[in-house]
Amino acid sequence: MNSCFNEDEALILLNDVTMTDEELRENELTDIEKRKLKTDIMGKIKSKNSKRKKWTIAAAIAFTVIVSIPLTRTDAFEKMISKLAIVPGIGEVMMEDKGFALKNSMTNNNVTINSMYIDQNKIAVTLTVEHTTKYDNSPYSLRDDKGNVYELKITNRSVDNYRNMSAYKAEYIGEVKKASKYTLSVDSHQASFTLKDSDFAEVSEAKTLYTATNGNTALNISSVKREGDILKIDYYATDFLTALPANMQVAKDKAFNFGTFKDEEEYKKRGVNISDPSIEIPYFQLIDEDGNKEYGHSSSSNVIDEYQSSFNLKKLKGKKMKLILPSVNYEYQRKYITSQYAMVFDVPKEGKTMLNREEEFVGFKYKILSIERLSDKMFALHYEFIDDNTSKLQPRPIGMFMNIGENTDSVSSCIDKGKLKIVIASRNPIGDKVKVDPTSISYASVGPFEFELDLDKIIDLDKIK
């Protein structure tokens, strides 16, 4: 089947995959459908008139075999994580002084604060909002008991149409003055929360129990805990990336789960088979000595930056386990469009024109195989990536995004019968020539990242309550 999705649809969970019940029973999930499922959504969603793609795809950048080792910190690594904290629901924060996180979630008038972090230089909060028109594009603000007001900017959004809700991450970067009481408001007090000092707990710096590295990325396990039959793993990744051009920025995938436990129940009802994780679609697997497998689950479908995976130990046997993640995904994004990578193509009046034209984008080589006119306002580019054996990083990306500037109406990236395709729709009729600009490309820092776990050495919290 053809699996096409646009950049906003890529942010929607499996519940919005357009498949009939018959298709769900007859087919395994495709890679694209798997990615739709993932609840970690990186980056911003903009309006249709200002598209920015958020599809994390994959390529291999390292071939070093990864083994589980106790953490040996170099001076550079120590400096890198000396003030790094991992806040559940918020993600990575760099603390310049003390930081504080909300202890428990709060709900008021169809809005839930899932998590919140505050220090002297930043405020970050994740919220779940039930789908009601009164909260569309709502402003978020935080006022303290001294009258200071901080306007929070939406930096991330996850849409779950099946559950009729959206999750947001809102942030403020700048000086934050000390206070003992705050009021978080949504849409001018339509939903309001009073927050006191006692509602927050001080955040500790990130600790590491184990790490596995390939020289480019270190995957770190900061906590392993058991709650009855549920094993919870807290993790984060640190990077040793080369310097980027001034026009580029990098985003990193932070959630390596395949839905929630409730999602899994829904898969079973529909007869959906879940494939093993891959470099392109990485998620955690926990494997026992008999080869039984359990994949990582999210604690909630509403969490944006999670940094935690949960496993049902009832599916596994014994005490010796192996935790495996195939890769950590990254995405190179252009901050602004220049003519450096622009391409001009002749557009056929109808049908397809073969091109076999080699191009390069941020060090990744690819070939435009053909251009195809789909309508007076839509065309498709068929392409493939070139395996450059001379590259030390050995990139193997499987997708990218492009646009045609201000006339771009929408962009879809497809896997069409195993082939890569980008479909671009224009606001205006397309003539006999078109100028196309690549905007982003994704790749993977390849493992596998592996850890050996002994359940006999993990305390069961349920037994000490």
Q: What is the DSSP string of 80-134?
A: HHTTEEEETBTEEEE-SS--EEESS-EEETTEEEEEEEE-SSEEEEEEEEE--GG
> Would you say 451 and 322 are in contact if contact means Cβ atoms under 8 Å apart?
yes
What's the pTM? 0.67
Sequence-ordered list of residues with C-beta below 8 angstroms from that of 23, at least 6 positions apart, any chain = 1
Residue 23, H or E segment: helix 21-26
CB burial of residue 78 (10 Å; 0-12, 13-18, 19+):
exposed
Where are the domains positioned within the chain? 13-68+212-333+446-463, 83-202, 337-444
Cβ atoms < 10 Å from Cβ of 268: 9
Residue 127 confidence (pLDDT): 83
Secondary structure letter of residue 405 according to DSSP: G
Residue 233, H or E segment: strand 230-239
Among the listed residues 331, 351, 347, 442, the one whose alpha carbon sits nearest the alpha carbon of residue 404: 347
> Would you say 450 and 68 are in contact if contact means Cβ atoms under 8 Å apart?
yes
CATH number of 83-202: 2.60.40
pLDDT digits (tens, 9 = 90+) for 76-113: 444 444 477 888 778 778 887 789 999 988 888 888 88
What percentage of the chain has pLDDT greater than the value 90? 26
Tokens found for residue 270: 């529909």
List Cα–Cα distances, 434 to 373, 415, 421, in angstroms.
Answer: 11, 23, 17
Residue 350 confidence (pLDDT): 93
Which band of pLDDT confidence, cut at 50, 70 and 90, is reported for residue 56? very low
pLDDT digits (tens, 9 = 90+) for 397-407: 656 888 888 88
- Average pLDDT in the chain: 75
